[in-house]
Structure 1
């Protein structure tokens, strides 16, 4: 009887020991799993951070290239067009002018004035390309309406726009950013999509200024946009991303549920990011 009782006690102790060892192994396994999982999450976060930094560099480089191209274009216009015009006007108004007869003097002054008028118009055109007068004087709605009217006037594509909630204008610098984004999108559609129409709408949602560009040609969806944004091509799309980053805005590319047209949605916060930077 005593031997049987001792055997049961030994068995119970063995079971308890095995159970304790099993629990210990389970706890150790769980701790190891948590550690490995945390390391995996940390590696993923570092990888994500590196990708974000690379994307940041791409956007900054695109912004720098955009500004440099704009400077080079303006410099070329001034050097190639304004420079020769002013040099020619200077010839007509040289020191020898006082030694010429009156008729020749009047003719030289008239020619110089014509050249100066052409130079003034050239400089005005350059200024308008930097800040469209319609945008400056009348706002984004008028500027986009003017843009779509000019496109429709060409006769190859039907373009229209409609603003639903534009009672107050945005800040001038923000309006210019949005207008340049719309210009870039519309130019891409005209060049690549073979659309029959472009329609731009505006409204406000959740303290955001929202613009949507619809077209029925070839287009891209959000995954295409993100892929092109990370590649060495698609400079126009990178320019859009750079401007959106300045305005703290977002953009979404999608195909309508009817599969008949593409839609690009731009969201710009109404609170002014330019003051918070």
Structure 2
């Protein structure tokens, strides 16, 4: 005759129940007679409280809606429901709950299984925000491309094209004119127009990419760009550019230069500042760029403007980050931290 199983002592049943609950990846709240008897570590984190602080409190106090609490605490086994719960500090969070009845050692217990959805909501909101930023940046890129093409078309056709035509007409006039004085005047005019054309072609190439960045490096390119933009002395420009022991990777150099260019452009267009400072320094394994001004700043509603989105994207593309602090009364500070070793792209 087989041995009769020996009943497990109630204390051992309770110990194993709590150990099992603590091993689950969801929050578990054990309720007895309408009060919290125990919680696992996940539930303690969800409600932002120590287990002892929750023990003994009314289970109904964990819910934002008393009627929903009564349904989960009193009805037969309840399948998943989405409800609002209350953390220890009063903050509400959305959760998916289910309930089961259990008897341990003659005591009727209620198990609440809690899955915190607030993190999922946060991730979804972040993805939606990033999607909106991506769409805005795409529109910005297309708009900038069209503006650049329009500018190049205008400069090449309406300006440089006309100057080349004038050079051609002058050269044709030289062929037919035998007067030495007249020929000298035409030749001088051709040389002057040629010099103007060369200068305009050079300016166009500088707009596309400054040669200083390739030839002399980031520090010289930043000095040239800032000096060119603030050559009239308003606002007053201060440069604090530390010599770098070695050149950063080309992608990091270009990202740093473009972020500085965009930041300085924003100062000129919007800040109405009296003083602007550009700093460049190396800190450990990163490159720090900071552009600050004492202008009018902007509110948080404008923190996701297209220019700032583009700068953040440039920093992120090379594995860095960009922070913007602005106050309408104290100006704006743009700070970029870029790694000196550009991460290799995934293949």
- Per the normalisation by structure 1, the TM-score is 0.72
- The 3-state SS of whatever aligns with 1:93 is helix
Question: Any residues of structure 2 matched to 1:193-208 within 5 Å, and which?
Answer: 193-208=271-286
Tell me the residue number matched to 2:334. Answer: 264
CA–CA separation in structure 2 for the residues paired with 1:98 and 1:145: 47
Q: Deviations over 1:142-176 (max 9, x none)?
A: 23234444566523332111123512122345323
Quick one: distance in 1 between partners of 2:229 and 2:127? 42
Change (3 A) 1:196 1:107: closer
**Partner residue of 1:101 out of 171, 178, 184:** 178
More helix by share: 1
In 2, distance between residues paired with 1:111 and 1:87?
13
Provide the rounded CA distance (Å) in 1 between the counterparts of 2:120 and 2:126: 10
Distance 2:270 2:291 in 1: 15
Q: Deviations over 1:15-40 (max 9, x none)?
A: xxx9739978723xx24x43xx45x6
Alignment pair present for 1:247 and 2:318: yes
Q: Distance in 2 between matches of 1:160 and 1:110?
A: 42
- Tell me, which stretches of 5 or more residues in structure 2 are unaligned? 1-100
Report what 2:128 is aligned to: 50
Partner Cα separation in structure 1 for residue 274 and residue 149 of structure 2: 34
Instruction: Say whether the 8 Å CA contact 2:252–2:339 is kept in structure 1.
Output: no
Contact 2:280 2:287 in 1 (8 A): yes
The structure with the largest strand share of the pair is 2
2:255–2:314 Cα contact (<8 Å) kept:
yes
* 2:252 aligned with 1:174: yes
How far residue 269 of structure 1 moved from its aligned partner, in angstroms, is 1.6
Aligned pairs for 1:26-37 (under 5 A) are 26-27=110-111, 30-31=112-113, 33-34=114-115, 37=116
Q: Which residue pairs with 1:116 in the alignment?
A: 194
Structure 1 unaligned regions, length at least 5: 1-17
Please say if residues 249 and 269 of structure 1, whose CA atoms lie closer than 8 Å, have aligned partners that are also in contact: yes
Deviation at 1:80, TM superposition (A): 1.9
| Aligned CA distance change for structure 1 residues 240 and 255 (closer, same or farther; 3 Å) | closer
- Equivalent residue number for residue 48 of structure 2: none
Provide closer, same or farther for how the CA distance between residues 26 and 193 of structure 1 changes in structure 2, counting only shifts above 3 A. same
1:158-204 residue CA offsets vs partner (Å, 9 max, x unmatched): 21111235121223453233222212212222332232221222222
Q: Distance in 2 between matches of 1:243 and 1:87?
A: 41
Aligned pairs (5 A) from 1:108-257:
108-150=186-228, 153-164=231-242, 166-220=244-298, 223-224=300-301, 227-229=302-304, 234-254=305-325
Call closer, same or farther: CA 1:72–1:235 in 2, change over 3 Å: farther
**Which residue of the other structure, out of 103, 106, 116, is the alignment partner of 1:20?**
103
SS state of the match for residue 162, structure 2?
Answer: helix
Residue-pair matches, total: 243
Q: Provide the rounded CA distance (Å) in 1 between the counterparts of 2:213 and 2:119.
A: 48
Contact 1:62 1:242 (C-alpha < 8 Å) held by counterparts: no
Deviation, structure 1 residue 106:
4.9
